[in-house]
Chain A
Amino acid sequence: MKDLSKSLKKIDVSTVILIFSILILVVIVAVPVLLIFLTAFFENGKFNIAGVVKVLSDPNTYNALLNSFIIAAGTTLLSTAVGTFFAWLVARTDLPFKNTMKALFLVPFMLPSFIGALAWKVLLSPRSGYLNKFIISIFNLEKAPIDIMSMGGIIVIESMYLLPFVFLQVEGALERMDPTLEESARISGASLFTITRKITLPLVMPSILAGALLVALYSLSHFGVPSILGTEKGIFTIPTKIYERIYASGGSFSAIRVGTILATILVISAALILKLQDVLLKKGQYQVIAGKSMRPVVLKLRGLKYPLLIISFIYIFITIILPTVTIFLVGGLKTYGLPFQLKYMTFDNYLKIFQWKMTKDAIWNSLYLSLSAALVTMLAGTMISYAIVKMNFKGKFILQFLGVLPYSLPGTVIALGVILTWSGRFGINLYNTAAIIFVAYIARYMAFAIKSSSASLSQVSDSLEEAARACGATHWQTLKDIVLPLIRPGMISAFFLIFLPALRELTTSVLLYGPTTRTIGVAIYTLNEDGETVKAAALAGIALIIIFVGETLIRKFLAKLEQRAVRVKEIENVAA
């Protein structure tokens, strides 16, 4: 027995980690992506570009392409402009209630945008929208002033929910900026306006662009909002077109093939966007020297202070409060279309959510799928990042590439790839089972887990491991006693940051669900499609509560972990 454990000890840890990492990435990531390209470009084993061109020149498909790009462009411009403005307002002016504002501008992150789209459809659909009806009655108009079921509507709603990306990047950059850069401009005689224009803005531009590109990426990949607000009116984007084709044909292979062709366009665009972001960020990588913390230059708003505060509050009201309240109210209606009066309201729908099989199952499915996927992804991601960050071997860049690849793949594309891989081609058929969604989630969130673990791992300096080896510990012991305890907070953090998005996602599972494997997102969506708006809203309401409670609890828990992690960083700062 002792011999066995001794010889086990001799097995090179590095080799084991390497083999598993390669296996996982190949099976989960490489194969699906490869199959997509193969299916798109090869017909019956032969390279067939003509087929591709035929699909692309079909007005149906190229309209969808065009729409996707127009929406992405519009959303990017709108959310960047507004997001940057609000970030500047919070970080560089004397706006009151700053900390509250900062937190509130980030709340839209928590709201799944398709639920938001649902609420806005209820409010502003051209004929039956509650808000439209209200405005018509007040101003005595002939028809509804705002039609949310339009390209413009999609752009505005998407911007609302993607704005936090820009806000977060820009606000962070402004806070981190070395205040002496602005002070030295000030002592050189520049007014605050000149400083903002000539110094602050150029220095913060890389972050603005990074946020903008992220928005573009998400908008192209997004399913929920264009689907709820556009499909009825015949406005399609790439993800919704793929969905429509596959469901219209009952999953026929030619539909899937069309899907892969469209998916390829999506992947190429996403890759270009990420490459652009990389180039821009590297170019603008200015040294931010963390000096003593001094207050940055702050603009006194004077007369504009309260008007701007009011505008901010109105914005928050429109983005957060209005949709949320609407959802809860609609969920409490006895029948859709009735006015919001007490006699037409009931709590029943909310209770029934937990009794109806479909919704009950959906909640259960989402919970266990996201929990298990988060667990597996986190563990695999940690192992793979150890290989990437801490080990040296030939061909490391392949592992890095495969690890980051899924980040650029829209959920739709991953779903397609997973269908192609796991529908019996290699002997395993997971189609219509929960397992296929499970596998898709792992692929979808792997890149995130790797990025997050890599960040934690790179904070554990090599000398900490080497010191253990010098103390007599083997590589295994070092991993167990030194590395693992130090990255545990990062791992837990990554777990939750995968679990929550997975819980409420729609884009991926909408292509993979079977009769018994709906997720919460899919359930809300299909209820809405079937015209059961009240039930959809009620489920959405419950989902919002679960998400909100979950986020708050987890945030508190993570904050406690963060405190401990800060102490770890302090040591490294002292030593560095």
Chain B
Amino acid sequence: MSQLELREVTKRFGEVIAVNRLSLQVEKGECFTFLGPSGCGKTTTLRMIAGFEDLDEGELLVEDSLYSSSYRKFYVPPEKREFGMVFQAFAVWPHLTVKENVAFPLRIKRRPSNEIENRVKMALTSTNLMKFKDSYPGRLSGGEQQRIALARAIAINPKVMLLDEPLSNLDAKLREEMRFEIKALQNRFGFTVIYVTHDQAEAMALSDRMLVMNYGVVQQVGKPLDIYNKPANRFVFSFIGLSNFIPVMIKEGDAFIERTSQIASHNAPRELGPRAIMACRPSDITFVPISEIDDEKGSLGVQALVIRRTYLGDIVDLKVKVGSVDLRIQKNARSPCPREGESCRIRFNKVIWYPEEYPKESQDIMENQPKTNSSAS
């Protein structure tokens, strides 16, 4: 039995299909993330799970009980769903103390007072808020207010915890800290978590599994590392990290960088036709050390010109030009790399091939499974 299941869930706003036939199952204790740019439908999906929006089509089940069904015209209102929710703007009540905020859902459910006392204490201790229990939220910082919201959701031991971009309103350093804290809390209590964010680092840090979404359509579902290693299409590739997309012409397994005679790879897949896109990360391009360059063979590496070199501390960021294509390379600052204006040879260590046309959003992701090579030569 899955903890939460969505079956062909669809939501429309006027002409726009905000969520398009989304189906998925979330297991108990799993931390599941919806990742995508703003407007992709992830928040709408979360609100449907919470009950603030109703499904136009499809069904929602929790622990195999029906919570909402468009076919049977059945709908459980939010106050009866027993979920915990953390909002982007914290939604902490300013006229109640921290303790009263956390106790509120338990009081509404008329739990006995010693149970309320215990649960509140547990929630406040695990979020480090005991010392603020009698303070008002207005006196606390953004990060602390977000923890109040977390404590409030934890206190009821919810069936599912819903988090809607909870860290967006915090500054970068705090975001980093808080995402580890949320993960630690989830590990400790074993909640089923549904998390929504547009920040891929956050998604990757927190999730057991994630779902990448765009224009209301599921682009890919899987474990973070799998999605990182094998993005299903160009959108997912570019959304998950820094990317280089190189247009290539393929002839008998050799991929020529467009409008040059340079061969980027000898292992180009034949199924993609004469033209394709070769995608790779800035950290997957290496410089061929001078000792290895063999001019006669001419096949080790691609000639490039360094047009910009920027020192970023631990990492050096370079922009190189191959023909008319600009590529971004990132290297550990300690490894040697050429200077601005220098010519060099580069090699692609790991590439993913995509067809030239950008797949239409609603196409089945199965049609666009990528071909992966571990080395280009």
Contacts of B81 in A (CB 8 A): 187
Q: Is the CB of B89 within 8 A of A187?
A: no
Contacts of B108 in A (CB 8 A): 188-190, 194
Q: Is A484 an interface residue (CB 8 A)?
A: no
- Known contacts A286-B138, A287-B138; is A189 also within 8 Å of B79 by CB? yes
Contact with B along A289-321 (1 / 0, CB 8 A): 101000000000000000000000000000000
Q: Is B104 an interface residue (CB 8 A)?
A: yes
> Nearest Cβ distance between residue B142 and chain A, in whole angstroms?
11
Contact with B along A269-289 (1 / 0, CB 8 A): 000000000000000101101
- Known contacts A180-B89, A183-B52, A186-B78; is A286 also within 8 Å of B94 by CB? yes
Q: Is A49 an interface residue (CB 8 A)?
A: no
- Known contacts A187-B50, A203-B95, A286-B94; is A291 also within 8 Å of B79 by CB? no
Q: Is B91 an interface residue (CB 8 A)?
A: yes
Contacts of B156 in A (CB 8 A): 188
Q: Is A185 an interface residue (CB 8 A)?
A: yes
> Nearest Cβ distance between residue B189 and chain A, in whole angstroms?
18
Q: Is the CB of A189 within 8 A of B105?
A: yes
With the chains together, A419 CA to B50 CA distance in Å?
Answer: 67
> Nearest Cβ distance between residue A183 and chain B, in whole angstroms?
6
Q: Is the CB of A187 within 8 A of B83?
A: yes
> Nearest Cβ distance between residue B32 and chain A, in whole angstroms?
18
Q: Is B80 an interface residue (CB 8 A)?
A: yes
Closest to B156 in A: A188
With the chains together, A222 CA to B77 CA distance in Å?
Answer: 50
Q: Is the CB of A287 within 8 A of B94?
A: yes
Kindly identify which residue among B51, B94, B105, B138 contacts A188, using a CB–CB cutoff of 8 Å: B105
With the chains together, A181 CA to B96 CA distance in Å?
Answer: 12
Q: Is the CB of B87 within 8 A of A180?
A: yes
Q: Is B152 an interface residue (CB 8 A)?
A: yes
Q: Is the CB of A183 within 8 A of B87?
A: yes
Q: Is the CB of B104 within 8 A of A188?
A: yes
Q: Is the CB of B105 within 8 A of A183?
A: no
Q: Is A19 an interface residue (CB 8 A)?
A: no
Q: Is B70 an interface residue (CB 8 A)?
A: no
Q: Is A191 an interface residue (CB 8 A)?
A: yes
Q: Is the CB of A286 within 8 A of B95?
A: yes
- Residue from A185, A189, A191 having most chain B Cβ neighbours under 10 A: A189
Q: Is B109 an interface residue (CB 8 A)?
A: yes
Would you list which residues of chain B between 143 and 176 have a CB under 8 Å from chain A? Answer: 149, 152, 156
Contacts of B77 in A (CB 8 A): 186
Binding site secondary structure of chain B = loop
- Known contacts A184-B85, A187-B83, A187-B85; is A178 also within 8 Å of B105 by CB? no
Contacts of A178 in B (CB 8 A): 89, 91
Q: Is B93 an interface residue (CB 8 A)?
A: yes
Contacts of A485 in B (CB 8 A): none
Contacts of B82 in A (CB 8 A): 189
Q: Is the CB of B95 within 8 A of A202?
A: yes
Closest to B145 in A: A287
Q: Is the CB of B87 within 8 A of A184?
A: yes
> Nearest Cβ distance between residue B23 and chain A, in whole angstroms?
24
With the chains together, A183 CA to B149 CA distance in Å?
Answer: 13
Contact with B along A188-224 (1 / 0, CB 8 A): 1111001000010011000000000000000000000
> Nearest Cβ distance between residue A153 and chain B, in whole angstroms?
38
Contact with B along A160-194 (1 / 0, CB 8 A): 00000000000000000010110111111111001
Q: Is B97 an interface residue (CB 8 A)?
A: no
- Known contacts A184-B87, A291-B88; is A189 also within 8 Å of B93 by CB? no
Q: Is the CB of B79 within 8 A of A190?
A: yes
Contact with A along B201-235 (1 / 0, CB 8 A): 00000000000000000000000000000000000
Closest to B162 in A: A187
Contacts of B83 in A (CB 8 A): 187
With the chains together, A190 CA to B105 CA distance in Å?
Answer: 8
> Nearest Cβ distance between residue A411 and chain B, in whole angstroms?
37
Q: Is the CB of A191 within 8 A of B79?
A: yes
Contacts of A289 in B (CB 8 A): 89
Closest to B85 in A: A187
Contacts of B51 in A (CB 8 A): 187
Would you list which residues of chain B between 89 and 142 have a CB under 8 Å from chain A? Answer: 89, 91-95, 104-105, 108-109, 138
Contacts of A194 in B (CB 8 A): 108
With the chains together, A183 CA to B105 CA distance in Å?
Answer: 12
> Nearest Cβ distance between residue A156 and chain B, in whole angstroms?
33
- Known contacts A187-B50, A188-B152, A191-B79; is A291 also within 8 Å of B89 by CB? yes
With the chains together, A108 CA to B343 CA distance in Å?
Answer: 79
Closest to A180 in B: B91
Contacts of A203 in B (CB 8 A): 93-95
Q: Is the CB of B91 within 8 A of A181?
A: yes
With the chains together, A186 CA to B149 CA distance in Å?
Answer: 14
- Known contacts A187-B85, A188-B104, A194-B108; is A181 also within 8 Å of B93 by CB? yes
- Known contacts A189-B80, A189-B105, A189-B109; is A183 also within 8 Å of B91 by CB? yes
Contact with A along B296-307 (1 / 0, CB 8 A): 000000000000
> Nearest Cβ distance between residue B119 and chain A, in whole angstroms?
13
With the chains together, A180 CA to B86 CA distance in Å?
Answer: 10
Q: Is the CB of A187 within 8 A of B95?
A: no
With the chains together, A287 CA to B78 CA distance in Å?
Answer: 25
Closest to A182 in B: B91
With the chains together, A284 CA to B138 CA distance in Å?
Answer: 11
Contacts of A183 in B (CB 8 A): 52, 78, 85, 87, 91
With the chains together, A180 CA to B94 CA distance in Å?
Answer: 13
Contacts of A199 in B (CB 8 A): 93
> Nearest Cβ distance between residue A115 and chain B, in whole angstroms?
41
> Nearest Cβ distance between residue A197 and chain B, in whole angstroms?
12
Contacts of B52 in A (CB 8 A): 183, 186
Q: Is the CB of A187 within 8 A of B79?
A: yes
Closest to A184 in B: B91
Contacts of A202 in B (CB 8 A): 95
Closest to B136 in A: A286
Would you list which residues of chain B between 24 and 64 have a CB under 8 Å from chain A? Answer: 50-52
With the chains together, A180 CA to B163 CA distance in Å?
Answer: 13
> Nearest Cβ distance between residue B313 and chain A, in whole angstroms?
29
Would you list which residues of chain B between 348 and 376 have a CB under 8 Å from chain A? Answer: none
- Residue from A184, A287, A289, A291 having most chain B Cβ neighbours under 10 A: A184
Contacts of A188 in B (CB 8 A): 79, 104-105, 108, 152, 156
Contacts of B138 in A (CB 8 A): 286-287
Contacts of A286 in B (CB 8 A): 94-95, 138
- Between A and B, 20 residue pairs with Cβ closer than 8 Å are A180-B88, A180-B89, A180-B91, A183-B78, A184-B91, A185-B104, A186-B52, A186-B77, A187-B51, A187-B84, A188-B79, A188-B105, A188-B108, A188-B156, A190-B108, A194-B108, A203-B93, A287-B138, A291-B88, A291-B89
Contacts A180-B87, A190-B104 supplied; 8 other A-B pairs, CB < 8 Å: A180-B88, A183-B91, A184-B152, A187-B81, A188-B105, A194-B108, A286-B95, A289-B89
For the complex of A and B, list the 6 residue pairs with the smallest distance between their C-beta atoms, beginning with the closest. Answer: A188-B105, A180-B91, A184-B91, A286-B94, A189-B108, A180-B87
Contacts from A to B (Cβ < 8 Å): 178, 180-181, 183-191, 194, 199, 202-203, 284, 286-287, 289, 291
Contacts from B to A (Cβ < 8 Å): 50-52, 77-85, 87-89, 91-95, 104-105, 108-109, 138, 149, 152, 156
